[in-house]
Structure 1
Amino acid sequence: MKPPLRIDGSMGEGGGQILRSALALSLHLQRPIHLINIRAQRRPPGLRRQHLTCLLAAAELSGATLEGAQIGSQEIHFTPGPLRPGRYTFDIGTAGSTTLLLQAILPPLLLASGPSHLTLHGGTHNPQAPPFDFLGQVLLPQLQRMGARVRLHLQRPGFYPRGGGILAAEIEPVSRLHPLELTERGEIQEIAAQAVVAGLPRHIAERELKVLAERLDPPPARSEIVELSECGIGNIVTATVRCRHVTELFCGFGERGVRAEKIAGALAGEVRNYLDAQVPVGPHLADQLLVPLALAGGGRFITLPPTRHTTTTIRVIEAFLPWKFSLEQQSPTHWQVGLPHQ
């Protein structure tokens, strides 16, 4: 086995995505890692419960040896064993994001030696994390285009701070992933809006959808209110843009003391920026596609100006592999992110 790869968690955006990307690649490539300065640019720094669960889940999937696995730790040593697909249940124990936990362990299981079934307990609709709807409607279709065979199920929603959500994933592995070419979004087929309120008044959702109807051009062809009980207290409003080659989803989370109109107005601005740019891939999908492209050994997509999350994840991948991504600015709003076919 190769010596541990030393990764500085303070580089770039300096958050938990460095840990998750490194774990996914460590599992797939069977490369030990020594990660320092974990979440150095977050307050508080170090492992939180959500990140610790990612680490422990990766260790269980591979029988890894592990040092530094405790809350607050800013340094870990992780030496994976052979990946062991199977049936697993992982419980974050808080409202920490199940979708981010899946980000760390799904990629290697796509190419494992056998099928897996994952049941993840925690938050499914969290600020600062892709909600379940994003995984199911946006990321999953692109993974399927690459040949992946995955089914995702939302068994129970869970909002911050209560959590209690359950996400399930069924994975039938494939021998290889195909490079993804996503350079055009095609014609817009539908814009749809949804406002979800859990344990909150219905009028919050009504006000959010009213703002989206007024500020989006074209306005949503479909709008839906979903009222939930026994899922904690929370609110999320989403706008889904379905195009011929890609679906994108944008979301806003309700905040205590912030008017519903302000949440929906900020969301409308994100959607307008995406529509005006006429690119297929939004900033969050760009982040999610990078590790799958690395596992496929190539591909490219057109996106908005890369975020620090995107450029940081590229740096992590390039630390593991001898390949280099290309970032090419084609216009003020169009950037091509590419990995030459290997």
Structure 2
Amino acid sequence: MIRIDGSKGEGGGQVLRTSLALSLVTGKPFQMVNIRAGRSKPGLLRQHLTAVKAAAAVGEAELEGAELHSKELTFRPKSLTSGDYHFAVGTAGSATLVLQTVLPALLAASGPSTLVLEGGTHNPAAPPFDFLTKAYLPLVRRMGPGVEAMLDRPGFFPAGGGKFEVLVQPAPLKPLHLLERGNVVRRQATAMIAQVPYDVAKRELETVGKKLGWLAEERRVEELKRSTGPGNVLWLEVESEHVTEVFTGFGERGVRAEDIAEAVSEEARVYLEAGVPVGHHLADQLMLLLALARGGSFRTLPLDGHAQTQIETFAHFLDVKVSVEEVSPQVREVSVR
């Protein structure tokens, strides 16, 4: 039985999700204590509990401690099973994080799977649906498996109510080497609004234009006529020869549209000036795929706490070595072998 202290490293939900994913793939059971001890509301919240139960369904696992606010969990997987699954968070908690918990396992399953997920699709502190489809899933497909995701309806915080479907065609993961970004071939800034004044989107896009110099034809408003609650998301898509990156900001009550746009623009500016192919958020997810493929490399920005936590969690389940080399003050090369 592997024992993991959830308070170590980043101290949030990531170590739990990664542990669940790796437990499913390897068949190794684990016990975790101090779950999300580094957060203001420690223990399992609704979206974490949904991820645990989703992993249990996929792995026919035995559970102990799977209840709201629990700070300890024992997870014993029995058999990795493909099939048709429907997982609902029940709140505005992130459904995309639930997907990232079970997808690595389903990529290694014996047959195809279909998932329907309900909850938040565009949440702060979680990968939005557009990041999955434009940045993450294309890399999964390059490594072998086939994965497609279709958005039925968006779900914003705090109303939730989003829904999307994912089709998974498993295949062995092949190592991937992503050391060059290549030339930028397309840039697109999208301000999505639902039950929010059009002026908010207009101000966000004007700020992107001023901060990054993106042209009017590279900026667009997407106004949703159907959603369960109000929401505003700004994402910047940078498509290069070898990779696409997505940077996202979320409108918040009491925060100026210009401030949201300036923060997202700054994140994109740092990425573009560094010349790396992989940004911070994509690095966390790509590292897990490479660990499961037992090989690969990529260049990224200096690693944050989430990436370091990923590396530490791998060591509990996998016999892989992750090395991080400083190429320059703003560039790191991550190698998995």
TM tier, shorter chain?
A: over 0.9
Partners of 2:112 and 2:259 in 1: how far apart? 44
**Residue deviations 1:256-311 (CA, integer Å, cap 9, x gap):** 01110111111111111111111000000001112111111110100000010001
- Contact 1:16-1:38 within 8 A present in 2 as well: yes
Residue 230 (structure 1) shift = 3.6
Q: Secondary structure at the match of 1:124?
A: coil
Deviates more, 1:213-222 or 1:44-53: 213-222
Partners of 1:172 and 1:148 in 2: how far apart? 6
Q: Which amino acid aligns with 2:238?
A: V
Residue 219 (structure 1) shift = 4.2
Corresponding position of 2:152: 155
TM normalised by structure 1 equals 0.97
Q: Does the alignment pair 1:249 with 2:242?
A: no
Corresponding position of 2:284: 287
**Which of 27, 30, 40 in structure 1 is aligned with 2:27?**
30
Partners of 2:314 and 2:166 in 1: how far apart? 24
**Residue deviations 1:140-183 (CA, integer Å, cap 9, x gap):** 11111111211111111110101000021100111x11101000
- Contact 1:212-1:220 within 8 A present in 2 as well: no
Q: Which amino acid aligns with 1:214?
A: K
**Which of 180, 198, 204 in structure 2 is aligned with 1:202?**
198
Corresponding position of 1:228: 224
Partners of 2:255 and 2:158 in 1: how far apart? 17
**Which of 297, 302, 308 in structure 1 is aligned with 2:299?**
302
**Which of 304, 317, 336 in structure 1 is aligned with 2:333?**
336
Corresponding position of 2:107: 110
Q: Any unmatched runs of 5+ in structure 1?
A: none
Q: Which amino acid aligns with 1:185?
A: R
Q: Which amino acid aligns with 1:182?
A: L
**Which of 168, 172, 177 in structure 1 is aligned with 2:169?**
172
Deviates more, 1:289-298 or 1:71-80: 289-298
TM normalised by structure 2 equals 0.98
- Contact 1:15-1:40 within 8 A present in 2 as well: yes
Corresponding position of 1:15: 12
Q: Does the alignment pair 1:99 with 2:99?
A: no
Q: Does the alignment pair 1:140 with 2:137?
A: yes
Q: CA 1:16 to 1:52, structure 2 compared with 1: closer, same or farther past 3 Å? A: same
Partners of 2:107 and 2:60 in 1: how far apart? 18
Q: Does the alignment pair 1:72 with 2:60?
A: no
**Residue deviations 1:9-61 (CA, integer Å, cap 9, x gap):** 01111000001000000001000010111001001100000000000111111
- Contact 2:10-2:306 within 8 A present in 1 as well: yes
Corresponding position of 1:42: 39
Q: Secondary structure at the match of 2:110?
A: coil
Q: Secondary structure at the match of 1:10?
A: coil
Corresponding position of 2:309: 312
CA-atom RMSD in angstroms:
0.9
Residue 334 (structure 1) shift = 0.6
Q: Secondary structure at the match of 2:37?
A: coil
Q: Secondary structure at the match of 1:184?
A: coil
Q: Which of structure 1's runs of 4+ aligned residues deviate more than 6 A?
A: none
Q: Which amino acid aligns with 1:184?
A: E
**Residue deviations 1:303-328 (CA, integer Å, cap 9, x gap):** 00001000101110111112220011
Residue 224 (structure 1) shift = 1.3
- Contact 2:181-2:277 within 8 A present in 1 as well: yes
- Contact 1:190-1:221 within 8 A present in 2 as well: no
- Contact 2:208-2:214 within 8 A present in 1 as well: no
State how 1:271-282 maps to structure 2 within 5 Å: 271-282=268-279
**Residue deviations 1:177-219 (CA, integer Å, cap 9, x gap):** 1101000000010111100111111110001001111110454
Partners of 1:220 and 1:247 in 2: how far apart? 21
What count of residue pairs does the alignment treat as equivalent?
A: 336
